[in-house]
């Protein structure tokens, strides 16, 4: 007996897969899964995200900044499981049924990371069918979320990693969070960021990626949100379980 199906984890959550002409299973690690501490058989900080969504029974889950879609997969899986567990009822269709939706907001313009789901037949779209907004998070806020008055139950911020970018995402989208909603911000472990080795020709970009670590320092003294920093860099061995996840709930 097992709590999780590791073969499913490997084939769908932490890898994309296809069968080659010789009938062999070919696995391709989901982009940026390592930043979540995920491996073939392990979900890293995705397990925390899964648990938080299950705990608050989050229906509207939004991921700003998506890369290969690791966190959106977890969001959809948690919602589908809530239906199988008979917590959610009704039509279990991934995105337009009664079990809520997973919304991806990603500029997908090569700035701050790469995506692999813009094609209709991409692995992510075929198997997890998220709603996809290919736009900057700022424009999506005004022209999608505000216009439809969407309230978000679970928000993951992992888009523009500059200080100004992460601050703007938080300040805009936190106004849309429902009563018991949760926000997580990724890449918030300062020690991890400061010790990461970056190829010389990419240093310019990377140096502006310290926004999350700077912003959460500032958030510590805010009066509206409780903040918990989860990090485990340099504990026990080198199998880090996240580049830092900060969890926020309303006071």
Ligand X SMILES: C[S@@+](CC[C@H](N)C(=O)[O-])C[C@H]1O[C@@H](n2cnc3c(N)ncnc32)[C@H](O)[C@@H]1O
> Please, which residue, 14 or 153, has the CB nearer to ligand X?
14
- Token pair in block for residue 114: 């790469």
User: What are 175's two structure tokens?
Assistant: 């106004």
Does position 67 bind ligand X by CB under 6 A?
yes
The piece of 2-10, 12-20, 78-86, 111-119 that touches ligand X (CB under 6 A) is: 111-119
The DSSP annotation for 103-160 comes to EEE---SSTTS--S--STT-HHHHHH--EEE-S-HHHHIIIIIIHHT--EEEEEE-S-
To which residue do tokens 């907004």 refer?
Answer: 133
Query: What are the angstrom distances between the C-alpha of 29 and each of 16, 44, 130?
Result: 6, 14, 19
Residue range at the interface with ligand X (CB under 6 A); choices 6-14, 20-28, 100-108, 203-211: 100-108
Q: How many residues bind ligand X (CB under 6 A)?
A: 24
Which range touches ligand X (CB under 6 A), out of 9-17, 62-70, 201-209, 227-235? 62-70
Does residue 64 contact residue 4 with C-beta atoms inside 8 Å?
A: no
| Stretch touching ligand X by CB under 6 A, among 18-26, 69-77, 122-130, 219-227 | 69-77
Footprint (CB under 6 A) of ligand X, residues 124-163: 136-137, 158-160
Binding of residue 184 to ligand X (CB under 6 A): no
Q: List the beta bridge partners of residue 26.
A: 18
Nearer to ligand X, 47 or 179 (CB): 47
Q: Can you tell me whether residue 175 is helix, strand or coil?
A: helix
Q: How far is the CB of 13 from ligand X (least distance, A)?
A: 11
Binding residues for ligand X, rule: CB under 6 A, are: 32, 63-71, 105-108, 111-113, 115, 136-137, 158-160, 165
């Amino acid at each position: 007996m097992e709590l999780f199906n590791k073969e499913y984890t490997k084939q769908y959550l932490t890898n994309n897969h296809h069968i080659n002409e010789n009938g062999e299973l070919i696995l391709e690690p989901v982009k940026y899964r390592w930043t979540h501490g995920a491996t073939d058989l392990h979900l890293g900080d995705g397990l925390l995200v899964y648990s938080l969504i299950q705990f608050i029974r989050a229906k509207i889950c939004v991921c700003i900044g998506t890369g290969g879609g690791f966190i959106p997969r977890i969001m959809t899986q948690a919602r589908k499981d809530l239906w199988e567990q008979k917590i959610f009822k009704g039509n279990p269709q991934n995105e337009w049924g009664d079990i809520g939706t997973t919304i991806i907001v990603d500029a997908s313009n090569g700035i701050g990371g790469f995506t692999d789901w813009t094609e209709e037949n991409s692995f992510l779209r075929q198997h997890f069918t998220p709603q996809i907004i290919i736009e900057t998070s700022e424009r999506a806020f005004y022209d999608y979320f505000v216009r439809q008055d969407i309230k978000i139950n679970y928000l993951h911020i992992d888009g523009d990693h500059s200080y100004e970018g992460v601050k703007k995402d938080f300040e805009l989208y936190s106004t849309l969070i429902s009563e018991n909603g949760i926000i997580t911000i990724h890449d918030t472990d300062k020690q991890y960021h400061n010790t990461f080795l970056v190829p010389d020709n990419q240093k310019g970009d990377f140096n502006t990626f310290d926004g999350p670590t700077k912003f959460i320092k500032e958030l510590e003294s805010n009066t509206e949100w409780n903040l918990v920093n989860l990090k485990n860099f340099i504990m026990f061995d080198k199998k880090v379980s996240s580049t830092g996840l900060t969890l926020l709930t309303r006071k």
